[in-house]
Structure 1
Amino acid sequence: MEIEALHKLFLECSALSTDTRKIEKGSMFVAIKGEKFNANTFAAEALQKGASYVVIDDEAYYIDQRTILVKDGLNALQELAKYHRQFLNIPIISLTGSNGKTTTKELIHVVLSKKFKTKATVGNLNNHIGVPLTLLSFTQETEIGIVEMGANHQKEIAFLCEIAQPDYGYITNFGKAHLEGFGGVEGVIKGKSEMYSYLKSTDKIAFVNLDDVIQAEKTAEFKRFTFAKETTAVDVKIDAIEANPFVTVTYEATSIKSNLIGIYNANNLNAALAMGIYFKIPIVEIQEALEGYVPENNRSQLLTKGSNQIILDAYNANPSSMAAAIDNFLQLDLTNKYLILGDMFELGDESALEHKKLVQKLASQSEATCFFVGKAFYENQFSQDNIKFFETFDTFAAYFKSHLPSNASLLIKGSRGMALERTLELL
């Protein structure tokens, strides 16, 4: 079936899904084959649950006129999303980066929603399936779309840009994330910068933090709207940044006191502030939006358990974000500090070295008790009163339950696979 015809059927539907567990009545289901499953087998179930149409790429699962046969389900989803994006023809803001993508996306969303009917990526649906699903969630009522893009190898951002065709782009930072797929930090810079290449080739606009020297250089020759604290010749000049523990940024005598912990969140706030200024949202409304945003999903949350105060940042971790979180925690004016740090994944050949660096970083300090959890950290074990190593979460839990802190401040951070939020149950 031609994409135009498929799109007409899509417009008749209430929603689109690739997961039969999320089928709505009157929706469209697109079957996508995976390495370990064949979603075509769920076509009949989708119709039984109320789907108006099912898109399949295996004629053996054809049911009736409600079944749409295509050559490839994933390709059909991506092409449908691209067509829908062109059909709506609304401004699209895309963002990527090593750290802070999802938080920044949420901040941009709450700011722009003060003036526009805005829709954004839900959660972190930011890959070759998530980006199309995000675009297809936009409707004719949507005035601005915000699309988060994730990547773990070269050419992925370029591919996602061809689908989303952003009018504006923002890169949070270049850090030590997904080193295995990108082939090192230089590979990360090259891969994430594919967004800049797209914006330049299409004469679109980049939002740029000019305090980041690499990004300043990469965007010097094309359209950009800039912000910075240290650099003076910018469109939005940040006057001051504080973090103790919540981040406050000041712009033209307006202090924005956020619910975000960690100085590393300052540029996430600054980016959303700059976009609000660009889209002519009054500063008082920008302030209201940013001060009203409360993080969730294990992202820099401040929690209290008994007599203990906890910074829970266990959604994800890489060497850059881990180092930033540690530095911020150690500089806070707190007593009885504990660091519970889990292994970082997807670092490839750099894994052993990066875990060793973090252990060495903390071995020289005496103000905090450090618990390293996971096999990669365990490889660096040594004996020191304030530093302990555990190969698994279970061995850590067994020790921790019999040595529970009180009146303490704890930072809990690790990669998603470590699920260090389980520590809360121990407290």
Structure 2
Amino acid sequence: MNIEQLYKCYLQSSGVCTDTRKISANCIFFALKGANFNGNAFAEYALSSGARFAVIDEKKYQKNDQYILVEDALQSLQELANHHRKRLKLPIISMTGSNGKTTTKELINAVLSKKFKTIATQGNLNNHIGVPLTLLDMRRDTEIGIVEMGANHLKEIAFLCTIAEPDHGYITNFGKAHIEGFGSEEAIVRGKSELYDHLRDHSGLIVFNGDDHKQIKQVADYQNTYSFSEDSDSDVQVKLLSSNPMVRVAYKGEEIQSNLIGAYNFSNIAAAIAIGDYFKVDPREIKSAVENYVPSNNRSQIIKRGSNTVILDAYNANPSSMKAAIDNLANLESNGKVVFLGDMFELGATAAKEHQFIADHVARLNFDEIHLLGRNFSAIQNVPNGAKLYQSFEDFKMTFDTKSINDSHILIKGSRGMALERILELL
């Protein structure tokens, strides 16, 4: 079946599904494969559960004309998404970066949806499957698409750009996330900058942080840009007024009080303001969007537990985001300060060095309690004075005194695999 025929089937459906647990009436099911599953084997179940069509790539599963046989179901999903994107001809804003992608994407969506009908990446579905699904969620009345892109190897962002074909783009920052896959910090910069490469090749707009010297260097030879900074020489001036504890900024004479904690969230807010400014969203609407955005899903959430204030940032972690969160806690005005830090994953050969760096950094700050969880942290050579080390969450749970912390600000941060939000149950 060619792409035009597949597209006709898509238009007759209610949308795309790749998970039989989430089948909706009249959807089109794509039978994807993974290391431990074969979606073809679930095609019949998908149809019996209400799907209108099932796209398969193994002929033995085909039983009638509801089964659409293709050479590769994943490739067909990606080609269909690109075909749909071309038909819609709407502006696509893509973003990537080492830290803050999802928060920035949600802020941009909050701002732009004040004026436009938008569709944005759900959660962090930002890979070779999530990007096509985001595009296929867009409809003819969608006015702007917002697509988050993630990567842990070179050429991944370049490939995602061939699917989404963004004409506007923003990179949050260049940090040490996924250094195991990229191989080096220089490779991270090259990999994330594949978004800029695509935009240059297609005369797209690059939005960049004019206070970030790495960003300035990456766009130095390109003219179609839109910058934001605290400096009045940029296209949009956004000034940081305070970050103790919540970020408060100034933009066009308005003070905007966010629900986001930490100076590291300033650039995320400023980027959303700048993109709203570029698309001529009313400044009062921008203010409303930012002030009403509340983080969720373990990202910079502020949670009260008794007399304590918890900063729950347990969705992900890498050395740069970990240091930023620690520094933010250190700068807060508080009677007590406690850190619970979990292992950072995907650091490869640099894991021991980076975990020791974080431990050494914490040791220099005036925290009341330091709790370090995970195999990497428990293997550090120089242990901060008074710090407690735990090889696993189970080890921590057995020995932690739940009544020992009061009237404090508590930071909980670690990689997703550590699932440190479980600490909340013990506080």
Bin for the TM-score computed over the shorter chain: over 0.9
1:150-208 Cα shifts (integer Å, max 9, x gaps) = 00000000000010000100000000100000011111000000000000000010101
Asked whether the equivalents of residues 176 and 185 of structure 2 are also in contact (C-alpha less than 8 Å), the reply is yes
SS state at 1:299 partner? coil
- Partner of residue 344, structure 1: 344
Moved more, 22-31 or 248-257: 248-257
Per the alignment, residue 77 of structure 1 pairs with 77
Tell me which residue corresponds to 2:411: 411
Q: Does 1:227 align with 2:228?
A: yes
Question: Which residue pairs with 1:239 in the alignment?
Answer: 239
**Deviations along 1:243-282, whole A, 9 cap, x unmatched?**
0100011112211100001100000000000011111111
Unaligned runs of 5+ in 1: none
Q: Contact 1:338–1:369 (CA<8 Å) still a contact in 2?
A: yes
Q: After superposition, what is the alpha-carbon deviation per residue over 1:60-109, rounded to whole angstroms, capped at 9, x for unaligned? A: 10021100000001100000000000011100000000000000000000
User: What is the rounded CA distance, in whole Å, between the counterparts of 1:365 and 1:192 in structure 2?
Assistant: 32
Q: Distance in 2 between matches of 1:14 and 1:198?
A: 32
Q: Report what 1:263 is aligned to.
A: 263
Q: Deviations over 1:117-157 (max 9, x none)?
A: 00100000000000000000001111000000000000000
Q: Which residue identity is paired with 1:153?
A: H
1:405 offset after TM fit, Å? 1.0
Q: Tell whether the 8 Å contact from 1:17 to 1:23 is kept in structure 2 after alignment.
A: yes
Give CA deviations for 1:262-311 in whole Å, capped at 9, x if unaligned.
10000000000001111111100000000000000000000011121100
DSSP 3-state at the match of 2:29: strand
Q: Counterparts of 1:240 and 1:273 in 2: how far apart (Å)?
A: 13
Deviation at residue 41 of structure 1 after TM alignment = 0.1
Find the counterpart in structure 1 of residue 157 from structure 2.
157
Partner secondary structure for residue 401 of structure 1: coil
Question: How far apart are the structure 1 equivalents of 2:40 and 2:75?
Answer: 15
Task: Report the TM-score, using the length of structure 2 for normalisation.
Answer: 0.98
Tell me the amino acid that sits aligned with residue 313 of structure 2. D
Other-structure match for 1:181: 181
Deviation at 1:368, TM superposition (A): 3.0
- Tell me if structure 1 keeps the 8 A contact 2:356–2:382: no
The superposition leaves residues 310-347 of structure 1 with CA deviations (integer Å, 9 ceiling, x where unpaired) of 00000000000000000011010112110000000000
Q: CA RMSD in A?
A: 1.1
Tell me, what secondary structure is at the counterpart of 2:366? coil
Q: CA deviation at 1:381?
A: 5.5
Trace 1:6-405 onto structure 2 (pairs within 5 A). 6-222=6-222, 223-229=224-230, 231-380=231-380, 386-401=386-401, 404-405=404-405
Contact 2:26–2:50 (CA under 8 A) maintained in structure 1: yes
Q: Is the 8 A contact 2:23 2:51 kept in 1?
A: yes
Q: Which amino acid aligns with 1:16?
A: V
Task: Provide the C-alpha distance between the structure 1 equivalents of 2:127 and 2:241, rounded to a whole number of angstroms.
Answer: 33
Q: Distance in 2 between matches of 1:104 and 1:270?
A: 9
Work out whether residues 109 and 120 of structure 2, in 8 Å CA contact, stay in contact via their aligned partners in 1: yes
Q: In structure 2, give the amino acid aligned to 1:228.
A: S
> Identity over the aligned pairs, expressed in percent?
53
Deviation at 1:403, TM superposition (A): 5.0
Residue type at the aligned position of 1:136: L
The separation in 2 between residues aligned to 1:376 and 1:239, in whole angstroms, is 38
Shift, 1:367, TM fit: 3.3
Give, in angstroms, the shift of residue 404 of structure 1: 3.2
User: Distance between the aligned counterparts of 1:423 and 1:260, measured in 2?
Assistant: 21
> Contact 1:239/1:252 (CA < 8 Å) preserved in 2?
no
Task: For residue 233 of structure 1, give the secondary structure of its aligned residue in structure 2.
Answer: coil
Counterpart CA distance in 2 for 1:384 and 1:82 is 51
Measured in 2, the distance between the counterparts of 1:354 and 1:385 equals 18
Q: Could you tell which deviates more after superposition, 208-217 or 395-404?
A: 395-404
> What TM-score do you get using the length of structure 1 for normalisation?
0.98
Unaligned runs of 5+ in 2: none
Given the superposition, is the C-alpha separation of residues 384 and 220 from structure 1 closer, same or farther in structure 2, using an over 3 Å criterion?
closer
- Corresponding residue for residue 426 of structure 1: 426
Cα separation, partners in 2 of 1:51 and 1:347, compared to 1, 3 Å: same
Q: CA deviation at 1:383?
A: 5.9
Taking the aligned partners of 1:385 and 1:198, their CA distance within structure 2 comes to 49
What is the SS of the residue equivalent to 1:94? strand
Take 1:232 and 1:356, find their aligned partners in 2: how far apart are those partners? 40
Q: Aligned partners of 2:378, 2:88: CA distance in 1, in Å? A: 52
* Distance in structure 2 (CA, Å) of the matches to 1:63 and 1:368: 66
Residue 382 of structure 1 deviates from its aligned partner by: 5.3
* Residue pair 2:30, 2:56 contacting (<8 A) in 1 also: yes
Query: In structure 1, how many angstroms separate the alpha carbons of the residues matched to 2:381 and 2:356?
Result: 10
Separation of aligned partners in 1, 2:381 and 2:200: 48
